Amino acid sequence: MSQMSSSYDPKSVEGPIFESWTKGGYFSAEVVEGVRPYCVVIPPPNVTGSLHMGHALNNTIQDVVVRRQRMTGRPTRWVVGTDHAGIATQNKVEQKLAAEGRTRHQVGRESFVEACWEWRREHGSTIIGQLKAMGCSCDYDDEWFTMDPSYQAAVRRVFVEWYQAGLIYRGKRIINWCPRCSTALSDIEVEHEDVDSHLWHLRYPLKSPVAGVDHVVVATTRPETMLGDACIAVHPDDERYRALVGSVVLLPLMGREIPIVADSYVDPSFGTGAVKVTPAHDPNDFEIGERHDCAKINVMNADATISNEGGAYAGLDRYEARKKIIADLDAQGLLVKTDDHVHSVGHCYRCHTIIEPWLSDQWFVDMKPLAQPAIEAVRDGRVAFHPKRWENVYFHWMENIRDWCISRQLWWGHRIPVFHCDACGEMVASIEDVERCPKCGSSSVRQDEDVLDTWFSSQLWPFATLGWPEPDPRVDYYYPTSVLSTARDILFLWVARMVMSGMYFNDGKVPFDDVIIHPTVFNAEGRRMSKSLGTGVDPLDLMEHYGADGMRFGLMLQVTGAQDLKFSEEKLLSSRNFANKIWNASRFVLMNLDDYVPGEPVAHTVADRWILSRLADLSTRVSEGLDTYEFGEVARLLYDFFWNEYCDWYIELAKGRLHEGGEARESVQRVLVFVLDTALRLLHPMMPFVTEEIWRSLPLSAADKAPSLMVAGWPDAAALAQHADEGAERSIGRIIEIVTGIRAVRSRYKLPNKALLEVVFKTQGDSERQWVDNEFGQMAALAGVSSFSAGVDATKPAHSATVIASGMEVYVPLEGLVDFEAEARRLTSEAQKLSGELDKFNRKLSNEGFLAKASPDIIAKDRAKAAEVSEALGLVQAQLAELA
């Protein structure tokens, strides 16, 4: 705290503090033999990305757990880096070229890839800088990129091993094709959306009538695919069509003869019960086509225009072709009807273009054998999801897993390490580039043109970033990593695949013990935050307004077990104010330490015992809350303790003892410093900057000191537990009740703040009188009380208001200012409230079922409460009688 300004200024603090962390080398960890490390790998943001709210939330969560673990003294490492993001990056670079009026095909593959690297060099570290601004304590000296040479080696190793194990194969299949990105996509990269469309009923004439029937009507949502129809399918048991099976239909517009086949896939209740089958353009039709040995006629080009197989429609865009085909069929009287129909249409997750199911040669991973051990790992708890319910989502997907299409027709990415021999047709997967065919020796060998799905490389992140497959001691030391925190939308794309590949390549060891699925951040209207829709909030702006700590703490306050988070900026405002509160409370403590000598805190007063007891409780609950990833709960605990207990009560009462000097001053200084020190440690993971800045100014004994709060010790809850003190908590609770009651009188009767009060306690026994004498005196100033007396036989002074707290009457003389009617009204409403409560208790306590079945301690508690309420009611009624 170099300057003692009365408000915390994040901008002047964050830069220098971060720099000092970097200089101190606290972000890196050393291998310490025999000590289990803590390791987290960051979900690598896309190189094309800049920080959005999801990142802000996710990386705050990771930094909180990482900083906490680092403070416990474990070697702690947070691996950072970026993802090459195949499609996203390629799109960016293509856009750049387009602005210059060029296409990637014009510049060629080699130059295009070079342009991608160039793009990464220019923009790739933007997001890393933003993580630093947030205060994230990643190991920035060891930054990874999924296209690093060593990472490429890992990818090739994985591909080749899986290929050789028969888990990777090539096949001609219906895949999801994005005509704009011009690449295949995996099933989970397709986003389905309901679209208002039509179900067109088309009449297909029979070549020759059968049993008086001369046509069959089919229903379709994609009429343009009819150009590639290979047969008509009906259900074998469908009486309507039984006679037609085996006969031939003349495909309209194309004039092709196609058969009617029977296949049990067909649902007789849908549409007309007759399905046009287009094996090259629909996965189900593909299967039917296989069963009936039909031709697979591909009527579409890669850009979704109609191919040369499409006769007169060749060259038309798919939707123009649709219109024209409908019109032409209508003109020929073959359009029977057009029904409105809502159906689900797949869109590209990168560019939102409608995808086309398309027949092409692609590479696949056989997932079932990989999924089985990964299911078991979650089943038996080796990998635990938080919240637990996500396990079911994981199981459902894993148990129904389908093969993964991993080839992409892009240029930016890991090129598939398979070499084709043009001479003999041999195909070989190899870690090293292949110059000559190992089979025939020919040199006419070329590498496969396709690159791998970006997620193929991302799935290796937890071990490729530790140096695998090279023999690297870090793999043995840091793998498995400790926790993975991520958004739910990449549970399948990334998390599940990391478990599968991680186990496969690390002797069955899972890649992480815990998975945190954090809530998705939505805006105030409950809409997804999106830059393009302008519905987002920029974390950089938020840090500008609230400081990095304010943003972080404000986010932590909002993290609960829910699956959505409607972002509330007010929480950030509270958090900024909280940082300021911490700053000023600390400033107050430091201002009163000029004569301070560090030393152990010793509780001298009940207040000391109380705050230490509360601190012990806080410490336990914060550690437990972080262990179970209950960030919202932890943030609230810290906020309540620091503001409502330490500031509002302990510091306020400390003021008197500080002024008193001598031993009183020394003892309260010790406790003030000790509690502040511990609280700052507990707060540090969530608010690293402000806590570090203050902590460095604290005069601590050599044993407690460290070069940085980042590497200072995490409070030991077990050691602090010795301060637990129920008696002190009860006692201070009572005092708070009394002080608050007296303040309420002051407020109600508009007594000037400066008016010092002389109050009288009517106690119920000598021990209570003694308690008032001993304890209340220390806190009298908080109520503006200058003097007080207490006694069993105390009498109420004339013109005084009465406070009833904890079964005691406290009389506050008002010098004739009492508005008796107001006081009577107040007492009347108080009496009503109390008698209502009393009724409830009495009903409960006279219920035989309750007395027979409720646990004894509940009954005892309720009896005590009832007695208390009854007593208070009696006192209030006595007051009322007096006023009447």
Please give the residues from 740 up to 779 whose contact with RNA meets the rule CB under 7 A: 740, 743-744, 746-748, 750, 753
| CB proximity list for 157: less than 8 A, separation 6 or greater | 431, 469
- Residue 188 binds to RNA (criterion: CB under 7 A): yes
Closest CA to 779 of 614, 610, 584: 610
Closest CA to 244 of 252, 230, 254, 234: 234
Interface residues for RNA in 323-352 (CB under 7 A)? 343-344
- Residue 822 binds to RNA (criterion: CB under 7 A): no
**Cβ atoms of residues 69 and 512 within 8 Å:** no
Which pair of tokens denotes residue 354?
Answer: 């409608």
Interface residues for RNA in 704-743 (CB under 7 A)? 740, 743
Reduced to 3 states (helix: H, G, I; strand: E, B; else coil), residue 650 is helix
Q: Per DSSP, which regions of 460-571 are E strands?
A: 481-487, 512-518, 520-522, 564-566
**Measured from the CB atom, is 601 or 625 closer to RNA?**
625
Minimum gap (Å) between residue 64 Cβ and RNA: 17
**Measured from the CB atom, is 577 or 877 closer to RNA?**
577
Minimum gap (Å) between residue 266 Cβ and RNA: 4
Task: From 5-13, 50-58, 366-374, 599-607, give the range in contact with RNA by CB under 7 A.
Answer: 5-13
- Residue 844 binds to RNA (criterion: CB under 7 A): yes
**Measured from the CB atom, is 147 or 359 closer to RNA?**
359
Minimum gap (Å) between residue 269 Cβ and RNA: 7
- List the one residue from 758, 819, 862, 871 that touches RNA (CB under 7 A): 862
Minimum gap (Å) between residue 271 Cβ and RNA: 3
**Measured from the CB atom, is 160 or 751 closer to RNA?**
751
- Residue 173 binds to RNA (criterion: CB under 7 A): no
AA letter at 402: R
**Cβ atoms of residues 861 and 844 within 8 Å:** no
- Residue 524 binds to RNA (criterion: CB under 7 A): yes
Interface residues for RNA in 621-680 (CB under 7 A)? 632-633, 636, 639, 643, 647-648, 651-652, 655
**Measured from the CB atom, is 93 or 637 closer to RNA?**
637
- Residue 240 binds to RNA (criterion: CB under 7 A): no
Task: From 243-251, 559-567, 604-612, 716-724, give the range in contact with RNA by CB under 7 A.
Answer: 559-567
- Residue 564 binds to RNA (criterion: CB under 7 A): yes
**Measured from the CB atom, is 466 or 810 closer to RNA?**
810
Interface residues for RNA in 99-118 (CB under 7 A)? none
Minimum gap (Å) between residue 482 Cβ and RNA: 24
**Measured from the CB atom, is 93 or 367 closer to RNA?**
367
Task: From 370-378, 564-572, 696-704, 876-884, give the range in contact with RNA by CB under 7 A.
Answer: 564-572
Task: From 27-35, 159-167, 810-818, 837-845, give the range in contact with RNA by CB under 7 A.
Answer: 837-845
- Residue 251 and residue 328: Cα distance in Å, rounded? 13
Minimum gap (Å) between residue 390 Cβ and RNA: 8
AA letter at 685: P
- List the one residue from 218, 416, 515, 760 that touches RNA (CB under 7 A): 218
Alpha carbon dihedral 784, 790, 795, 801, in 10-degree steps, equals 20
Q: How many residues bind RNA (CB under 7 A)?
A: 100
Minimum gap (Å) between residue 312 Cβ and RNA: 22
Interface residues for RNA in 41-70 (CB under 7 A)? none
| CA dist list (Å): 641 to 549, 617, 630 | 18, 10, 17
- List the one residue from 187, 448, 624, 773 that touches RNA (CB under 7 A): 187
**Measured from the CB atom, is 134 or 232 closer to RNA?**
232
Helix or strand holding residue 290 (H, E): helix 283-291
AA letter at 70: R
- Residue 58 and residue 502: Cα distance in Å, rounded? 22
- Residue 259 binds to RNA (criterion: CB under 7 A): no
- Residue 847 binds to RNA (criterion: CB under 7 A): yes
Taking CB atoms within 8 Å and a gap of at least 24, the contacts of 720-726 are: 720/612, 720/615, 720/616, 720/619, 720/620, 720/678, 721/616, 721/620, 722/616, 723/603, 723/609, 723/612, 723/613, 723/615, 723/616, 724/613, 724/616, 724/617, 725/609, 725/610, 725/612, 725/613, 726/613
Closest CA to 597 of 695, 667, 656: 667
**Measured from the CB atom, is 63 or 189 closer to RNA?**
189
**Measured from the CB atom, is 93 or 300 closer to RNA?**
300
Q: How many residues does the chain have?
A: 884
Omega before residue 480 within 30° of 0, cis: yes
Give strand pairing partners of 335: 202
Minimum gap (Å) between residue 136 Cβ and RNA: 23
**Measured from the CB atom, is 446 or 825 closer to RNA?**
825
- Residue 150 and residue 152: Cα distance in Å, rounded? 5
**Measured from the CB atom, is 479 or 492 closer to RNA?**
492
- List the one residue from 179, 259, 271, 601 that touches RNA (CB under 7 A): 271
**Measured from the CB atom, is 481 or 575 closer to RNA?**
575
- Residue 837 binds to RNA (criterion: CB under 7 A): yes
Q: Per DSSP, which regions of 673-713 are E strands?
A: none
Helix or strand holding residue 837 (H, E): helix 820-845
Q: DSSP letter string over 219-249?
A: EES-GGGGGG--EEEE-TT-TTTGGGTT-EE
Closest CA to 183 of 45, 306, 360: 360
Closest CA to 281 of 234, 244, 322: 322
| CA dist list (Å): 574 to 75, 549, 639, 832 | 34, 11, 10, 36
**Measured from the CB atom, is 118 or 339 closer to RNA?**
339
Q: What DSSP designation does 355 have? A: P
- Residue 834 and residue 876: Cα distance in Å, rounded? 9
Task: From 321-329, 386-394, 478-486, 761-769, give the range in contact with RNA by CB under 7 A.
Answer: 386-394
- Pairing type for strands 76-79 and 38-41 reads parallel
Interface residues for RNA in 565-604 (CB under 7 A)? 565-566, 568, 570-571, 573-574, 576-577, 579-581, 584-585, 587-588, 591
Q: Tell me how far apart the 2 most distant CA atoms of the chain are, in Å.
A: 117
Question: End-to-end distance of the chain based on CA atoms, in angstroms?
Answer: 60
Minimum gap (Å) between residue 874 Cβ and RNA: 14
Interface residues for RNA in 489-518 (CB under 7 A)? 489, 492
- Residue 267 binds to RNA (criterion: CB under 7 A): yes
Residue whose structure tokens are 């010098």: 815
**Measured from the CB atom, is 3 or 6 closer to RNA?**
6
| CA dist list (Å): 656 to 11, 181, 677, 772, 777 | 35, 72, 21, 18, 11
Interface residues for RNA in 281-300 (CB under 7 A)? 282-284
Task: From 81-89, 172-180, 676-684, 863-871, give the range in contact with RNA by CB under 7 A.
Answer: 863-871
- Residue 221 binds to RNA (criterion: CB under 7 A): yes
**Measured from the CB atom, is 256 or 865 closer to RNA?**
865
Which pair of tokens denotes residue 823?
Answer: 């006081």
